[in-house]
Amino acid sequence: MAIIFLNGCTSAGKSSLAKALQEQIDEPYLLLGIDDAFASLPQRSHNNPEGFFFDRDDRGLVRLNFGAFGLATLKAHHRAAAAIAQSGVNLILDEVILTPELRKDWGQVLKGLDVTLVGVHCDLAELERREKERGDRVIGQARGQFDIVHKDMVYDIEVNTSQISPEETASSIIDFLAQNPSRLALSQMAKTED
């Protein structure tokens, strides 16, 4: 079955876009995302060096980091997503690819599946405005992720949510899917990982 893989910074509008896609696309699609992986952990694994925690990267910017249990959780999440698609259910993934290791793991577990990789971009000023307005994010995450989530990614289609609604963005993705039956980004990205 088909996977629409949305990758972008926190507050880029991926969740709103995913819901708009679910409403507009003819076939039913389940929605699964990185926030589901976070929510599945026991509370004691949050803000914990074995689970997930915030620190600063070598640039001094806020980073969502993870320990051994956090990494194992993310990799299990990847495999659960692949299993859903392999069971015959269409899937929209709402993701933030934080490291090269996670990018490579996604490529491995989704190999051979019908995946459309969508780069979800948003201007930094708008990301930061949304991050503050939401009130449920660590301030500085968006800036910390801005230069890393799209690094070394290959996309089938890229969208920018800064100025257009989730519904308009969803329509552009659906139009792309209808006009481009072959998606090659995942296989192209896998070649660069070897």
On whether 9 is known to bind a ligand per the annotation, the reply is: yes
On whether 13 is known to bind a ligand per the annotation, the reply is: yes
Alpha helix stretches (DSSP H) within the chain: 14-24, 34-39, 68-86, 100-110, 124-134, 141-146, 166-179, 185-193
On whether 19 is known to bind a ligand per the annotation, the reply is: no
Q: Report the alpha-carbon distance of residue 66 to residue 118 in Å, rounded.
A: 25
Q: Report the alpha-carbon distance of residue 138 to residue 168 in Å, rounded.
A: 28
On whether 8 is known to bind a ligand per the annotation, the reply is: yes
On whether 14 is known to bind a ligand per the annotation, the reply is: yes
On whether 10 is known to bind a ligand per the annotation, the reply is: yes
Just list the catalytic residues.
35
Q: Report the alpha-carbon distance of residue 63 to residue 81 in Å, rounded.
A: 24
Q: Which residues are annotated as a binding site?
A: 8-15
Could you tell me which residues are annotated as the binding site for ATP?
8-15
